[in-house]
Amino acid sequence: PRSARIKTKMVRRALFIALCFVAVVRLSHTFSLPTVPMRSEAKYSGVLSARCARTQDNFQDRRTAISHFGKLGSQVLAAGTLLRSEQANAAKAGPKLPEPEWEALIADGKLSKKAFRVLHDQATEKPFTSPLLLEKRAGTFACAACGTDLFASSTKFDSGTGWPSFFDKLAGVELETGNVADALVMRAEVHCDKCGGHLGHVFDDGWIWSVPTNKRYCINGLSLTFKP
Q: Which of 110, 101, 130 is nearest to 196 (CA)?
A: 101
**Segment holding 129, helix H or strand E:** none
CA gap 190, 37 in Å, rounded: 71
CA gap 124, 144 in Å, rounded: 15
Between strands 198-203 and 187-192, the pairing is antiparallel
CB 50, CB 58: distance < 8 Å: no
- Residue 43, strand partner residues: none
In this structure, what are the phi and psi dihedrals at residue 151, rounded to the nearest 5 degrees? -140, 140
Q: What is the largest CA-CA distance in the chain?
A: 136
Could you give the residue numbers annotated as active site?
218
Give me the torsion for CA of 114, 119, 125, 128, rounded to 10°: 100
Q: Please give the angle made by the CA atoms of 185, 186 and 190, to the nearest 5 degrees.
A: 105
